[in-house]
Chains A and B, each alone.
Chain A
Amino acid sequence: KAGVTQTPRYLIKTRGQQVTLSCSPISGHRSVSWYQQTPGQGLQFLFEYFSETQRNKGNFPGRFSGRQFSNSRSEMNVSTLELGDSALYLCASSLSQGYGQETQYFGPGTRLLVL
């Protein structure tokens, strides 16, 4: 089975621009979660989608948004980029057949640099 894939792998943007990142989960997985990882804040949960619906949300401003398609692929969007948005963005998929009880599988991440 192919693993979780994320595109693009690297991205450079300037302040004020917007960016869209993509995540394709493992085949059959219906839950996709997004995380931001920075040296200062560590790994922080952004949001989770299940069956095209946002099921959980972390404490990030509204500039961060996401969506999930019927094939479980997910995108996240960051508008009006700030320097502090520079980070490694990771997505993870899981079967999510019930609350908890399943392993999360992570993609390699998209490294975003905001200049």
Chain B
Amino acid sequence: KQEVTQIPAALSVPEGENLVLNCSFTDSAIYNLQWFRQDPGKGLTSLLLIQSSQREQTSGRLNASLDKSSGRSTLYIAASQPGDSATYLCAVNTNAGKSTFGDGTTLTVKP
């Protein structure tokens, strides 16, 4: 059974700081890994999708890496802004349509 862990559970940083969020998973036989952000009371917004054959993906100030062999992924946010404040979730797909989510990291960026 796939288990996904995200550390830390919460993070507070001053504006402008670079930061790293971590995601680890127990079953390395994955098809892809996806990072989402969720604003309070809202649905999820996809940030980055890394295929199982890829090592990293970049979108603007975001960079996600994937190391299947060690069961780890990181989400790097450069030059953080108050608008980045949200909960960040990683999800691992091991079969089409079935995702296992971590509990998320709640990020607060202080002006």
Contact = CB atoms under 8 A, between A and B. Distances in A.
User: Main SS of the interface on chain B?
Assistant: strand
A94 interface: yes
B69 interface: no
Contacts of A31: 96-97
Nearest to B102: A42
Main secondary structure of the interface of A (DSSP, over half): strand
Interface string A70-93: 000000000000000000101010
Given A100-B93, A101-B51, A48 B43 contact: no
Given A100-B32, A101-B32, A111 B97 contact: no
Contacts of A44: 101
Interface residues of A, number: 31
A66 interface: no
Interface of A: 4, 31, 33, 35, 42-45, 48, 50, 55-56, 58, 88, 90, 92, 94, 96, 98-109, 111
13 contacts: A31-B97, A43-B101, A56-B95, A90-B43, A100-B51, A100-B52, A101-B31, A102-B49, A106-B36, A106-B46, A108-B43, A109-B42, A111-B41
